[in-house]
Amino acid sequence: MSGIPSAGPQPADLWPEVQPDAARRLMLAGVESFAQRGYHATTTRDIAATAGMSPAALYVHFPSKAALLFAISRSGHEQVLSLTQQAVAEAEDPAAAIRDLVERFTAWHARRHTIARVVQYELEALPEQEYAVVASLRRDIERLVRDVVERGVAAGLFTVGDPHTAARAVLSLGVDVARWYTDRTRLGPEELAREYGELVLRMLGATTGDGA
């Protein structure tokens, strides 16, 4: 998969750009802990221990436990937004855009289910200002999907009663993957993604079935 030795379910190449190596290890440890127990049930001692440091080391790199969550959450949301934008930009028509979007969105939530869990389910633990930043990113993602669905309906490619609700359903399907997907799930991220792409296109009443 990755090319670098690695081993274990933890994606080692997640934030290659995050500078002091210890800061990256803390983010990794934070993701692991927040995903497993939730933000509020995780102690700074948990995170530090997972990262192999003393509790005080966290505060050398992050001003607070909440700031660590924010770094993880913002980065994750930016990844999802960018992946969504790419799908829409590269597709030739709304149907292809939706298929590509759902496939990438689903595969990301399955492959990165640990981060995805934090991104999707721990955002309400963020302080007000930080919450506003990720809420804005989330609105961007939602608007993007809604626009594609509406363009598809306008072009006569989709037949749905309420485009707004249909767009919600499309995102719901992908988001919820983060809740139930584990490393032991029978289908791999790409297989699941392809399956979900099919399901969503049918759900939207896409006239184009398969084709190239």
Partner DNA sequence: CAGCAGTGTAAGCGAGCGCTCAGCGCGGAT
Partner DNA sequence: ATCCGCGCTGAGCGCTCGCTTACACTGCTG
State yes or no: residue 59 binds DNA (CB under 7 A): yes
3-state secondary structure of 54: coil
Per-residue contact track with a copy of itself, 132 to 161, x per CB under 8 A? ----------------------------xx
Neighbours of 62 (CB within 10 A): 20
State yes or no: residue 180 binds a copy of itself (CB under 8 A): yes
Closest CA to 158 of 114, 206, 92: 206
Q: Which two tokens mark 102?
A: 């759902």
State yes or no: residue 56 binds DNA (CB under 7 A): yes
Q: Would you say 91 and 97 are in contact if contact means Cβ atoms under 8 Å apart?
A: yes
Distance CA 124, CA 139 (A): 15
For residues 105-127, one letter each, b for 16 or more C-beta atoms within 10 angstroms of the residue's C-beta and e for the rest, the string is bbbbbbbbbbbbbbbbbbbebbe
Distance CA 94, CA 96 (A): 6
Beta strand spans in 40-191 (E) = none
- Residue ranges in 15-54 that form contacts with DNA under rule CB under 7 A: 20, 22, 42-45, 48, 53-54
Q: Which does 92 bind (CB under 5 to 8 A by kind): DNA, a copy of itself, none?
A: none
State yes or no: residue 23 binds a copy of itself (CB under 8 A): no
State yes or no: residue 12 binds DNA (CB under 7 A): no
Q: Which does 200 bind (CB under 5 to 8 A by kind): DNA, a copy of itself, none?
A: a copy of itself
Positions touching DNA (CB under 7 A) are 20, 22, 42-45, 48, 53-57, 59-61, 63-66
Residue numbers at the binding site for a copy of itself (CB under 8 A): 37-38, 40-41, 121, 124-125, 160-162, 164-166, 168-169, 172-173, 175-177, 179-180, 186-187, 192, 195-196, 198-200, 202-205
